[in-house]
Structure 1
Amino acid sequence: MGLLFSGQGAQVAQMGLDFYEKAPVFKQVINQASKICGFDLVECFQDSEKLKQTRFVQPALCAFSYGVYATLKEMYSDLEIAGGIGLSLGEYPALIASGALGFEEGMKLLQKRAAFMQDDCDQCQSAMVAILNPDLDLIEKVQAEVSTSQNPVGIANYNSPKQVVVGGTVKAVKLLSDKLTGQGRMRLVSLKVNGAFHTPLFAKSAKRLKQEISKVTVKNPAFPVVSNTDQVLFTKDNIADILPRQVMNPTHFGGCVQKLSNDAAIENWIELGPGDTLLKFVKQIDRKTKRQAVDTYAKLSELSF
């Protein structure tokens, strides 16, 4: 069994309300997270405007995914977990679920990450564009032509063989998009995001996060969790190094799925979070695996193993 933890962008208004009403463990997690973060997460779940802001949505999504995990473990106590992958932000609930980060310390660290990244978002107008059926050689060639230190642009997310995401300043992303539009089979789709995450625009966040994570207790995960940044397993010795770099370096979700699939022979993936975006990426990598999304309480009750 492989677990997937959703990243920023998966959020939808009203998410988690059915869990909060029907699952006592989930309710306990959300109430505790609300106290840690200093704002009402249930209210945040219902507020589409707050869910557009990095400082609110990151703690909300982390608590949501971890709350679903805690409910899953209570309902299926003998569940065997071969490993987990979180997309970007999703690495935090994955590490909390694995015991590598304590819940309270993990949520506090994640809240600081969200605040740091919101500050960087506010300081620079940036954009992200998904590229379907990407020609990586061409994208990298054009990137080298248009990217500058003042207006950087580059691949931020290697999601699957059929999708990457580029990010950077608005000016640089437009230049790159204009040059790539109409080239081969590639299709470009602008994304509604708060900032161009996983680019050099978040270097300040990385520096600030490095200072904060040095104060946090970390442990070896109880089940394998693969790093988006380096495509290696997280350990107590590398977590403090990887997580700060993660905010400004590209994610390699597709590579992580391939690694965990090869290492653990996973035949069943479960996504814990709103929607099924990560399962769609998994399907593009291996159509034979079983895929189940758990974004409502009803779906949790209908899981099959």
Structure 2
Amino acid sequence: MKAYLFPGQGSQFAGMAKDLYHYSEESRQLFEQANEILGFRLTDIMFEGSEEDLKQTKVTQPAIFLHSVVLALLTPDFAPDMVAGHSLGEFSALVANRTLSFADGLRLVQVRANAMQKACELAPSTMAAILGTTDEVVEEACASIEEVVVAANFNSPGQVVISGTFKGVELACDKLKAAGAKRAVLLSVGGAFHSPLMEPARAQLAEAIEKTTFQTPICPIFQNVDAKPHLDTQQIKANLIAQLTAPVRWTQTITQMQQAGATDFIEVGPGNVLQGLVKKIYRQGNTSSLVLA
């Protein structure tokens, strides 16, 4: 069974999707429709902008979504057995399994990106990758610190990302290194994603999601908040709203997909970050990237 995976923030690169834009008239129409919906020429930044330009949350998220979704929509006979997306990628996955239309998915991503950027400005904060220790050790260390800091992404065995205030993340990194973690690496991000500091963004996104039509999906989506497959649109909405302040349970998601019968994990979008994570989680599975010939 084929499981299609959609990447999140961090997969962007200068010049992304330029070849995809020129692939066909249909692809150009989708990119131009996106520019019109967003109210600015995202494609100019994607194709000609610098790495720094692409790091802005309000640019990064729609850029990755657009790259991923156009690739999926243009693939002949695209028929996933199951889908999942890492953080932002969950919106791309919901377009791929027909829960959301292309236009509605992009509008929600724009709301999400702008709301998250505002939340970051309200509460300056950061994230760090903790390598070489267990999920439990990371969670215990974060819980013992009075500052806001939480486990935000369970990416693979031995790789957990923490999220919180600058002070909270610093204290947690020191504590975890003292407890035996191999490395604690600060990430170049705009703020504390998937932490309580994203509450203002969660509230704004919730309002937009509740106003959006969600169709019955053609296959299950394994969602970040509980790593379980979902087909019920009301539950999908609730999980999508909760996702902003809850951790991304990626290790558990890939494990659950494998137990549900997934044998081929196919990454759809820029980069190959998710392929690497899948190989660490599920070594028997085939991994690849979706490429248009």
SS at match of 2:271: coil
**TM-score normalised by the chain length of structure 1:** 0.90
Question: Contact between 2:130 and 2:173, CA under 8 Å: does it hold in 1?
Answer: no
Question: Aligned match of 1:65 in 59, 65, 68?
Answer: 68
- Is the Cα–Cα contact under 8 Å of residues 132 and 183 in structure 2 kept in the other structure? yes
Q: C-alpha distance in 2, partners of 1:113/1:154?
A: 21
Partner Cα separation in structure 2 for residue 253 and residue 33 of structure 1: 28
C-alpha deviation, 1:141, in angstroms: 2.4
Q: Which one of the candidate residues 201, 208, 220 is aligned to 1:212?
A: 208
Give the Å deviation of 1:80: 4.0
CA distance in 1, matches of 2:238, 2:102: 20
Question: Where does residue 86 of structure 2 map in the other structure?
Answer: 87
Deviations 1:58-107 (A, max 9, x none): 111111100111122x3xx2x44211110000000110111111111221
Q: Give, in whole Å, the separation in 2 of the partners of 1:254 and 1:248.
A: 18
Q: What is the rounded CA distance, in whole Å, between the counterparts of 1:276 and 1:25 in structure 2?
A: 25
Question: In percent, how many aligned pairs have the same letter?
Answer: 35
| Contact residue 62 and residue 92 of structure 1 kept, 8 A | yes
Compare 175-184 and 161-170 and name the one that shifted more.
Answer: 175-184
SS of residue in 2 equivalent to 1:93 = helix
For residue 24 of structure 1, report the CA deviation from its aligned partner. 3.3
Are 2:56 and 1:53 equivalent residues in the alignment?
yes
1:26-57 Cα offsets, whole Å, 9 max, x none, are: 32221111111111121121322331111111
Q: Conserved in 1, the CA contact under 8 Å of 2:4 and 2:268?
A: yes
Separation in structure 2 between the aligned mates of residue 233 and residue 137 of structure 1, nearest angstrom: 24
Compared CA separation, residues 129 and 209, structure 1 to 2 (3 A):
same
What secondary structure does 1:273 align onto? Answer: coil
* Counterpart in the other structure of 2:144: 145
Does 2:73 align with 1:36?
no
Compared with structure 1, are the counterparts of its residues 25 and 258 closer, same or farther at alpha carbon in structure 2 (3 Å cutoff)?
Answer: farther
What is the match of residue 300 of structure 1?
292
Indicate conservation of the 8 Å contact 1:53/1:194, yes or no.
yes
After superposition, where does 1:1-305 map in structure 2 within 5 Å? 1-45=2-46, 46-47=48-49, 48-72=51-75, 74=76, 77=77, 79-146=78-145, 148=146, 151-234=147-230, 235-263=232-260, 265-294=261-290, 299-301=291-293
**Number of equivalent positions:** 289
Structure 1 CA distance, aligned partners of 2:90 and 2:286? 22
Structure 1 SS opposite 2:5: strand
State the distance in 2 between where 1:269 and 1:156 align.
Answer: 23
**TM-score of the superposed pair, with normalisation by structure 2:** 0.94
4+ runs deviating over 3 angstroms: none
Structure 1 residue 182: Cα displacement: 4.6
Secondary structure of the corresponding residue to residue 238 of structure 1? helix
TM-align CA RMSD: 1.5
TM-fit CA distance, 1:186: 2.8
Do the aligned partners of 1:135 and 1:186 also contact (CA within 8 Å) in 2?
no
Residue by residue, what CA displacement relative to the aligned partner does 1:232-274 show, whole Å, maximum 9, x if unpaired?
A: 22321212211111111101011111111111x2221111111
Structure 1's 80 and 207: CA in aligned 2 closer, same or farther, altered over 3 A? closer
SS, match of residue 246 in structure 2: coil
Shift of 1:279: 0.8
Write the letter of the residue equivalent to 1:267: T
Paired with 1:283 and 1:25, the residues of 2 have a C-alpha distance of: 34
- Contact (CA 8 Å) 2:4, 2:83: kept in 1 or not? yes
- C-alpha displacement of 1:291: 0.9
